[in-house]
């Protein structure tokens, strides 16, 4: 599977998001009301205040604090992976830098993410729009037919047409004997680690591990050996 794709024309990405404010009390009053309406069917027994820790899931109430991107590299004997992260407290700056990288790449560069079609790709697009930033060609979706959108989603590929099935990256790494990226924190902890512990670097490391895990999953989908640890390079922001 995926043999038709050139590994070196893939960009593996993952994003980390948090609520726009540290606490529900800090949210502007009109947004508090909108938050209550938006989440009325998801909250169950939780109050809007209690549920706010999950606000990072929605692009209308959250912001991006890290985007990690990985490209496959050619070694003398083995394939490698090179990862760069765009992280910080200023979302506009993160998106500008990430977009600048995409603008410098071929328009037919294929983006890859786990659950990317449901989360990563639309979230980035929405936040680009909110921040008044132009869309790189790889994220231009308007007016395109479904088969013209060159985005891959490793979760969708695992479904094989089964639309009711959600499978986490953590489960797939276990199935394919790939080292887990969830050895420190998981997605549910990102908001607390960011707003309460002020540990952006820790979140960035977690985001990079998800990129590694997704890249390794692609290798397994293609029936190829995993990338060796010594062939994985993290470059500075």
Helical residues (DSSP H) of 48-198, grouped into ranges: 48-51, 91-103, 121-130, 154-159, 169-175, 190-195
Indicate if the pLDDT at residue 183 is higher than 80.
no
pLDDT digits (tens, 9 = 90+) for 5-23: 999 999 999 999 999 999 9
- Percentage of residues of the chain with pLDDT beyond 70: 99
φ/ψ of residue 110, rounded to 5: -95, 120
Average pLDDT, the chain: 93
Burial of 176 (0-12, 13-18, 19+ CB in 10 A): middle
User: Coil, strand, or helix at residue 186?
Assistant: coil
Domain 7-20+61-235, architecture per CATH: 2-Layer Sandwich (3.30)
Q: What is the largest CA-CA distance in the chain?
A: 59
Give the mean pLDDT of 72-87.
92
Q: What is the pTM of this model?
A: 0.94
Take residue 91 and report the two structure tokens written for it.
């979302």
Angle between helices 91-103 and 121-130 (to 10 degrees): 110
Q: Where are the domains of the chain?
A: 7-20+61-235
């Amino acid at each position: 599977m995926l043999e038709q794709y050139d590994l070196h024309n893939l960009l593996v990405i993952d994003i980390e998001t948090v609520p726009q404010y540290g606490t529900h009390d800090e949210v502007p009053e009109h947004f508090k009301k909108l938050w209550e309406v938006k989440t009325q069917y998801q909250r169950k027994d939780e109050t809007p205040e209690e549920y706010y820790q999950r606000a990072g899931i929605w692009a209308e109430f959250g912001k991006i604090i890290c985007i990690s991107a990985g490209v496959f590299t050619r070694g003398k004997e083995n394939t490698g992976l090179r990862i760069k992260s765009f992280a910080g407290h200023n979302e506009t700056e993160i998106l500008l830098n990430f977009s600048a990288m995409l603008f410098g790449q071929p328009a037919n560069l294929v983006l890859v993410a786990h659950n990317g079609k449901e989360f990563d790709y639309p979230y980035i697009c929405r936040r680009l729009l909110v921040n008044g930033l132009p869309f790189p060609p790889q994220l231009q979706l308007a007016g395109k037919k479904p088969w013209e959108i060159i985005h891959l989603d490793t979760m969708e590929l695992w479904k094989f047409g089964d639309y009711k099935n959600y499978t986490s990256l953590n489960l797939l790494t276990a199935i394919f004997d790939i080292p887990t990226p969830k050895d420190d924190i998981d997605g549910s902890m990102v908001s607390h680690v960011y707003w309460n512990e002020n540990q952006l670097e820790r979140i960035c490391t977690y985001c990079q591990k998800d990129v590694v895990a997704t890249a390794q999953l692609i290798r397994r989908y293609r029936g190829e050996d995993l990338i060796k640890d010594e062939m994985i390079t993290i470059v500075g922001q």
